[in-house]
Amino acid sequence: MTDISSARIICGIGSILMLLIFIPIIGIALFIAGIILVAIGIKRISDALKREDIYRNYLIYLVLGVIAIVIIYIGIIGIAIRWFTGYTRPIPRISSPNIIRISLEVIIVLVVAWIVFILSSLFYKKSFDEIAKTFNISLFSITAIIYLIGSILTIIGIGLILIYIAIILQTISFFMLPEKIEIKTPSQQVSLV
């Protein structure tokens, strides 16, 4: 028997911290701490099951998510520096062609980040689908689908609400995990205790 109760608690607490993102000043730090805790918990689950694909997919999700955020920040800051400080050329006058150019550059940056975020969500879904299959907890799959749909709809804003709902469901899902598991065969069949 393998005890995964600590992984269950770590993931649950991490998910709760992720939900606190809206707290002024410390919300983002709590979210980051939460996502790190969830990653640690998923690593423990993955190790207990001897299924490194679960953690690997979650890790790819995290890396691609960070890349999407970096694309947004670097892209927007780069556009601002180039257009408003005269860093690469004299300060442009705010005219219609300049506004159109700036708008197009911002749109391109956001679309590229959005595509990377959707790719990230596909790996989140892979990881959570495997957890759902292994533990026979369909709420993990439902969470992953809502998260993926949310990431697709972030381009119009409503997706952020769906992602928040997915994180709520993620929290519930982790607390539904059993405390102990028993791996029966080399083919990784799991008995829940």
* Domain tally, the chain: 1
pTM attached to this predicted model: 0.86
Identify which has the larger pLDDT, 155 or 172. 172
Q: Does the structure show a pLDDT above 80 at 191?
A: no
What is the amino acid identity at position 41? G
User: What sections of 50-136 are H helices per DSSP?
Assistant: 52-84, 96-135
Residue 91 token pair: 């300060």
Nearest of 15, 56, 52 to residue 33 by alpha carbon: 15
The DSSP line for 139-192 is HHHHHHHHHHHHHHHGGGSTHHHHHHHHHHHHHHHHHTS-SEEEE-STT--EEE
Which of the residue ranges 21-30, 46-55, 107-116, 180-189 would you say has the lowest mean pLDDT? 180-189
Domain range enclosing 13: 2-192
Q: Does the structure show a pLDDT above 70 at 105?
A: yes
Q: Does the structure show a pLDDT above 90 at 123?
A: yes
